[in-house]
Amino acid sequence: MTDPDGSAIDPLDFLERAVRTPSHDDVGPMCDLLRRVLREAGIEPTVDDADNVVATREAGGNADGPHIVLNTHLDTVSPHVPAERDGELLHGRGACDPKGPLAAMLAAFSRTEPPRGRLTLAVTPDEETRSTGAAALVPSLDLDPDRGDAVIVGEPTGLDVCNAAKGRFEGTVTITGERAHAAEPHTGSNAITMAASVVDALAGFDDRPGGLAAHPDLGAPTLTPTIVAGGDATNQVPATCEIVCDRRSVPPETAAGFETALSEHLDERAASDAVSFALTERET
């Protein structure tokens, strides 16, 4: 049902303002913009302890119907890319992910008065990192699939409708060597040098016998080293090296199953007594 009061949000105007607002490092300015635009449309949002921006519209006489949630996020990946116009095209960080979907959801939310049930706009602050906002948000939504509740997530999909997404795990491979003076490297064990075989092993993880098959909708899983850190002095053989890995998983893999499988793989392909793997302890 369309809102008759004429306070609908213009998605193109909002999108240009949003793309010109950096949110790769601090989502505060983007949060302020979103709240301001909602208030200008006569909608009062709330911000919870996890910095989620939430607004809800309820049917006047039939609030017991389904609860539909429009969800996306405020943060973008680094580095920030300034907004730039090319005719009718808008370029810049977030134009597609996630500020394009957010603009469309804002327009739909501001134009809709649900004839029954509830419509909620729920925008999280940290989807690109820890997703603590989503973890805090989900319990508060009181979702019930038997009631017909549903969540529509705004992400770039090539304008296709998707009913699933890859999972994400994060973990660290720790390589332990032995410190020595760099003038006598043979008296120690260089953890950075040993990391080369670990990187090779990571590259072959999904090609191992018994590895995950590609999912019919999501494709193949990926395992990507994203951070390498080792050594603390320029004249010493480093005793430790850590490699942070990003895992994009597909069913039926679980976090525990991935941790066990990668640990066993590294035992076979790298120096097992010097290499260990553990999932990152996260709040979500």
- Indicate which residues carry an active-site annotation: 75, 127
State the DSSP code for 222: E
Report how far residue 254's alpha carbon sits from residue 155's, in angstroms, rounded to the nearest whole number.
23
Contact between 64 and 13 under an 8 Å Cβ cutoff? The reply is: no
Read off the DSSP letter of residue 96: T
Q: Which of 79, 99, 129 is nearest to 15 (CA)?
A: 99
Q: Where are the alpha helices (DSSP H) in the chain?
A: 11-19, 28-40, 99-111, 132-141, 191-203, 255-269
* Rounded CA separation 103/18 (Å): 9
Check the CA dihedral 150-152-153-159 and report its sign. Answer: positive
Which among 167, 161, 173 is positioned nearest to 202, based on CA atoms?
173
| Contact (CB, 8 A) for 227 and 244 | yes
Whether the CB-CB separation of 132 and 182 falls below 8 Å is answered with no
Take residue 41 and report the two structure tokens written for it.
């449309």
